[in-house]
Homo-oligomer: A and B are copies of this chain.
Amino acid sequence: MNIGEASRRSGLPAKTIRYYEDIGLISPDRCENGYRDYGSDDVHKLRFLHRSRSLGFSVDECRQLLALYEDKSRASADVKEIATSKLTEIDRKIRELTELRRTLEHLVHACHGNDRPDCPILEELSEG
């Protein structure tokens, strides 16, 4: 199938699919006219990539996961380790954002938000 169909079936934009080929994540066949030709296994991989990207794995982690996925003698511990470290990272991000949120909300609350120039937000930013 052509890239458009692969895009529809995988949920990834054609641009992204070509990019994934550029960086060596997939390598579809080519038709005589030069068009890329995707098989159902390719689509399967693309969906795998789509899903793992949307779960927050970096492209490089996706590469590792994909390699493990195709390695029938893999140890599930290897996969679990990647996922666990990603979980830790997500936890950290959530903590940081929550802290940010608190500070910001405090500032927003303190600001009158009227047409006068007094602004605790700017004051805090300039002093903090």
Residues of A participating in the B interface, judged by any CB pair closer than 8 Å: 44, 47-48, 51-52, 55-56, 65, 68-69, 71-77, 79-81, 83-84, 86-87, 90-91, 93-94, 97-98, 100-101, 103-105, 107-108, 111-119, 121-122, 124-126, 128
Q: A76-B111, A90-B104, A108-B87 are in contact. Are A69 and B117 (CB under 8 A)?
A: no
From residue A106, how far is it (CB to closest CB) to chain B in Å? Answer: 10
Residue in contact with A119 in the complex, picked from B79, B97, B108, CB distance below 8 Å: B79
Would you call B86 and A90 a contact (CB within 8 A)? no
From residue A41, how far is it (CB to closest CB) to chain B in Å? Answer: 11
Q: A48-B126, A93-B97, A125-B51 are in contact. Are A119 and B87 (CB under 8 A)?
A: no
Would you call A117 and B65 a contact (CB within 8 A)? no
Would you call A65 and B122 a contact (CB within 8 A)? yes
Would you call A107 and B121 a contact (CB within 8 A)? no
Q: A74-B119, A101-B87, A116-B75 are in contact. Are A47 and B93 (CB under 8 A)?
A: no
Which chain B residues border A116 with CB–CB below 8 Å?
75-76
Would you call B114 and A75 a contact (CB within 8 A)? yes
